Structure 1
Amino acid sequence: MTMQNRITIIGGGVIGLSLAWEMSKRGCAVTVLDQGSMASATSWTATGILPPANFELATDPLDQLRGLSHRLYPEWSQQLQTLTGIDIGLRRCGGWYLADSAGERAAMIGMRSYWEDLSIDCESVEISQLAEREPELASWAASVSDVAAWWVPDEHQIRPPRLLSALIAACRKSGVELIENCRVSGIQSSPADSIVNIKTDKQTYQCDDVVVCSGSWSGQIAEQLQLQQSIIPIRGQILLLKTERPLLKAVLNLGNRYIVAREDGYTLIGSCEQEAGFNPVTQPDIISGLDDFAVSMLPSLKSATRVKSWAGLRPMTFDGFPMIGRVPNHKHIYVAAGHYRSGIHLAPATAVTLASAILNQPSEMELDAFRIGKQQTR
């Protein structure tokens, strides 16, 4: 009888759970260790915007990763719903991109050219047409001047809490062992070793290969692997409101701020970017600013119920590329982390490509551009 590959994944966020599910589908015995609860991972706090992408025409490695995920998501959505009964909320809702300054307008003109190179539709729209297509924006559109708008039909959205719930359920149904409240203190492996020892505050776990997928916390775990400078946490904050009906049909983007309306009347507003260490707490002035922004765009939100606000830590690398692959000088240790604001979007492609690399199976794309260690600054 063929022995199963024993894979241990450190981190129960969207990247770790996606990889766990993918590895289990390929016949591996998988264990996921998380320092807290799977339900407390940063992935739960994301808004779930999936920008357009095209794998077939992409030449940049990050564009290829986006494009592959974009192509995989409909299949994953169907598989997860069939296996778990959970609808992850994948919707092709389209996206509005607005620019109210010269800098933002120039950035969007460049973005439109980039999308055209990838055969991604991007239509310039008059503000009056925007108001006709999104009536709740009519008062804002009438009050502004020199604003440009673009319509991007292939933007999608997803419900991150549902996605995480579905992945957890799928992992359990597929035999993945999920171990919560388990803090990893060290990883022991030498080039000659065929077994990896993972020391935790519960016990020592053994496996054939280990993958560090602990997001912003990967920098701490990876210190012994000399990767401590590769990932830093960037805090983002989000406000959640509730109305009786959805106020927008599509995602609305203005600079680095956005409004995402769900079909059930929930509206998410984000976001900010701050280097604040490992401190995922909200700030009243930031949340108030998001509220003011939302009401200025959609006056009907003034009477909305303020449901809650939260903060999450986004793992950012210094070169903007996630780290995906084997750790140098460690044959059986891998990392998949540093996806920054795109963890939800890039999860399927990260899972399938890294699973192929670990198992030495064919893959649709190379991971050399995401190799571990190139982000080092010393």
Structure 2
Amino acid sequence: MAVQHILIIGDGVIGLSAAWKLARAGHRVTCIGDDGPRSTDAAAGMLAPSFERHHPRAAGSLGALLEEGLTFWPDFARELMNETGQTFGYDQNGIIGISFPSAPSSSAIETEPPAGFPASRAWLVPEEGQADPRLLRSVLLNAFWKAGGTHIQLKADAIECRPEGISVRAGTERFMTDRIVLAGGVRSAELLPGAFEMEGVRGRAFLHHAPELKLTHVVRTQTVYFCPKSDGLLYIGATEEIEAGEPAMFDGLWWEAVSVCPPLQGTERLKVFDGVRPALKSGLPKIGHWAEDERVYLALGHDRNGVLLAPLTADRIVLAHSL
């Protein structure tokens, strides 16, 4: 394998997963990202293919990709924790679904609703789980640095493909590189005009201090989810708002969450998360070479499933750059 200089545009979970894996494979890797909103900032980090495959925006073939993506997580998590000595809220001990008219997947097992959730029926989907996206991004960045990668905080403004190499302009800087991985958010469409159509789906969620709930699993309904984090913290999400969205949607999410779990009413809100998920019109992410120039690799449009599909996406990127 010839060592290449690879520039990755996008430093969320997708971009940094690819950057770490490429650097480990021996490539010279630079990852750039700006200070704008990341889809990582709107993510709960659920690893939940059985639930996500039924989402209204999901294409019919998305389910199989999500199921495959879940199988990459155990090795990915083990390698990342071994190399950094850090954890990031990862578990695959199952997700509990409540208020579903039937089992959300063929592997689901009927179980008791968690304490605080007055549902009549609940299902445990084994082997699904979560990771904390904000912790995960920090750990990935450390792993990337340890592997010899370079991270630069800049906004990419333009890509120009030339026979002698690819030029990327970012502010007053200009980078020449052998190959590019475009793994940014909704602004990525501006870098390759006409190559794909992308929309931003705004997601807002909140973090509460709720140790009295003592949740041991992620809990999901068809429209709201509850992700227990470390130290008694609970991530509750999330709205889905095309473009600007409405304040009423955020209020509605809260009252829906309280109706599902009444003890939330007395808990302390610590933080509100606000981010934009990049979605393609097809309902599927694009993971593959750009048809116009194979030196440009696209890893875009993961929408709600960036964390779940990050290890699979990184693996495909490494394979493509080993040929």
Aligned: 1:65 with 2:65: yes
Counterparts of 1:86 and 1:13, CA distance in 2? 18
Counterparts of 1:98 and 1:135, CA distance in 2? 12
Counterparts of 1:263 and 1:175, CA distance in 2? 30
Question: Which residues in structure 2 correspond to 1:353-368 (within 5 Å)?
Answer: 353-360=316-323
Instruction: Work out whether residues 86 and 162 of structure 1, in 8 Å CA contact, stay in contact via their aligned partners in 2.
Output: no
Q: Which residue pairs with 1:178 in the alignment?
A: 151
TM-score (norm 1): 0.77
Q: Which residue pairs with 1:89 in the alignment?
A: 89
Q: 1:3 to 1:157 in 2, by over 3 A?
A: closer
Q: Which residue pairs with 2:298 in the alignment?
A: 335
Instruction: Work out whether residues 19 and 355 of structure 1, in 8 Å CA contact, stay in contact via their aligned partners in 2.
Output: yes
Instruction: Work out whether residues 49 and 63 of structure 2, in 8 Å CA contact, stay in contact via their aligned partners in 1.
Output: no
Structure 1 stretches of 4+ with a deviation exceeding 6 A read none
Q: Which residue pairs with 1:367 in the alignment?
A: none
Aligned: 1:45 with 2:42: yes
TM-score (norm 2): 0.89
Q: Which residue pairs with 1:189 in the alignment?
A: 161
* Greater relative contact order (CA < 8 Å, ≥ 6 in sequence): 2
Instruction: Work out whether residues 239 and 290 of structure 1, in 8 Å CA contact, stay in contact via their aligned partners in 2.
Output: no
The residue identity in structure 1 corresponding to 2:75 is E
Q: Which residue pairs with 1:304 in the alignment?
A: 267
Counterparts of 1:199 and 1:184, CA distance in 2? 6
Counterparts of 2:130 and 2:294, CA distance in 1? 37
Match of 1:136 among 116, 126, 143: 116
Aligned: 1:30 with 2:26: no
Identity of aligned residues (%): 28
Residues 105-152 of structure 1 show CA distances to partners (whole Å, capped at 9, x for unaligned) of 2xx45x43xxx3xxxx21245xxx43xxx2222xx23xxxxx553221
Instruction: Work out whether residues 316 and 339 of structure 1, in 8 Å CA contact, stay in contact via their aligned partners in 2.
Output: yes
Q: Secondary structure at the match of 1:216?
A: coil
Question: Which residues in structure 2 correspond to 1:278-289 (within 5 Å)?
Answer: 284-289=247-252
Q: 1:12 to 1:263 in 2, by over 3 A?
A: closer
Residues 68-88 of structure 1 show CA distances to partners (whole Å, capped at 9, x for unaligned) of 432222222222222222101
- Please report how far the alpha carbon of residue 214 of structure 1 lies from its aligned counterpart in structure 2 after TM superposition: 0.6
Q: Which residue pairs with 1:370 in the alignment?
A: none
Counterparts of 2:320 and 2:200, CA distance in 1? 27
Residues 181-225 of structure 1 show CA distances to partners (whole Å, capped at 9, x for unaligned) of x222221114xx1411112213210111011111222122221xx
Counterparts of 1:358 and 1:322, CA distance in 2? 19
The residue identity in structure 1 corresponding to 2:135 is R
Counterparts of 2:79 and 2:294, CA distance in 1? 32
Instruction: Work out whether residues 47 and 130 of structure 2, in 8 Å CA contact, stay in contact via their aligned partners in 1.
Output: yes
Provide structure 2 residue ranges, at least 5 long, that are not aligned to the other structure.
51-59
Instruction: Answer 1 or 2: which has greater strand percent.
Output: 2
Counterparts of 2:39 and 2:130, CA distance in 1? 17
Q: Which residue pairs with 1:368 in the alignment?
A: none
Q: Which residue pairs with 2:219 in the alignment?
A: 252
- Please report how far the alpha carbon of residue 343 of structure 1 lies from its aligned counterpart in structure 2 after TM superposition: 0.2
Counterparts of 2:110 and 2:213, CA distance in 1? 24
Match of 1:240 among 199, 202, 207: 207
Counterparts of 2:270 and 2:252, CA distance in 1? 16
The residue identity in structure 1 corresponding to 2:237 is G
Instruction: Work out whether residues 136 and 247 of structure 1, in 8 Å CA contact, stay in contact via their aligned partners in 2.
Output: no
Higher Rg: 1
Q: 1:197 to 1:220 in 2, by over 3 A?
A: same
Q: 1:194 to 1:245 in 2, by over 3 A?
A: farther
Counterparts of 1:215 and 1:151, CA distance in 2? 33
Instruction: Work out whether residues 93 and 251 of structure 1, in 8 Å CA contact, stay in contact via their aligned partners in 2.
Output: no
Counterparts of 2:144 and 2:2, CA distance in 1? 20
Q: Secondary structure at the match of 1:196?
A: strand
Q: Secondary structure at the match of 2:72?
A: helix
Question: Which residues in structure 2 correspond to 1:88-237 (within 5 Å)?
Answer: 88-99=88-99, 105=101, 108=102, 111-112=104-105, 116=106, 121-125=107-111, 129-130=112-113, 134-137=114-117, 140-141=118-119, 148-180=121-153, 182-190=154-162, 193-223=163-193, 226-227=194-195, 229-237=196-204
Q: Which residue pairs with 2:4 in the alignment?
A: 5
The residue identity in structure 2 corresponding to 1:41 is R
Instruction: Answer 1 or 2: which has greater helix percent.
Output: 1
Q: 1:354 to 1:65 in 2, by over 3 A?
A: farther
Residues 200-257 of structure 1 show CA distances to partners (whole Å, capped at 9, x for unaligned) of 213210111011111222122221xx22x52110111101110234432222111121
Residues 6-43 of structure 1 show CA distances to partners (whole Å, capped at 9, x for unaligned) of 10011111111011111111110000111227xx6321
The residue identity in structure 2 corresponding to 1:230 is E
